[in-house]
Amino acid sequence: MKRKTKKQNNILTFFLIAIVIVFLGFSIYSLIQISEVLEIREIDASIIVSDKIGFDLNDSVLTFGSVLRGGGASRQITLKNNFEVPINVYVYGKGEVKKFIIPFKETLNTGEEKILKINASVPEDAEFGEYWGKAIIKIKKA
């Protein structure tokens, strides 16, 4: 009878150790991922799905203007790598504009400056209206 109990205790101990190792692994991985992020910028962004084309040159908000269904628009931002390491720049949308902003990744070497073209695409079945959200610019070590 004692033999079965000892075997069950060994199996239980093994599983507990395995769970602790997995938990520590995920924790370390999460810390590494967080430490790679150097900066996150959020820029207010909007797009209007309309039956007419229109431009908005507002420079305080990333506005794509009025875009036809099935159409697209783009805006540009200039970004310079002032970090002491090469960086990866991830651009994507958040909020209502997320479904329109086309995500992309760009790499900049130390001291390099690039014009990043942020594109938005409106599906044929999009409903007319004004959509707001944020353009997210996440900068990570390359």
What is the arithmetic mean of pLDDT over 61-71?
94
CA 22 – CA 104 distance, rounded (Å): 32
Dist CA 121 CA 84 (whole Å): 35
Q: Is the pLDDT of residue 35 over 70?
A: no
DSSP single-letter state for residue 142: -
Predicted confidence at residue 7, as pLDDT, reads 73
Q: How confident is the model at residue 33 (pLDDT cuts 50, 70, 90)?
A: low
Average pLDDT, the chain: 89
List the domains of the chain with CATH numbers.
Answer: 39-141 (2.60.40)
Q: Name the pTM for this structure.
A: 0.72
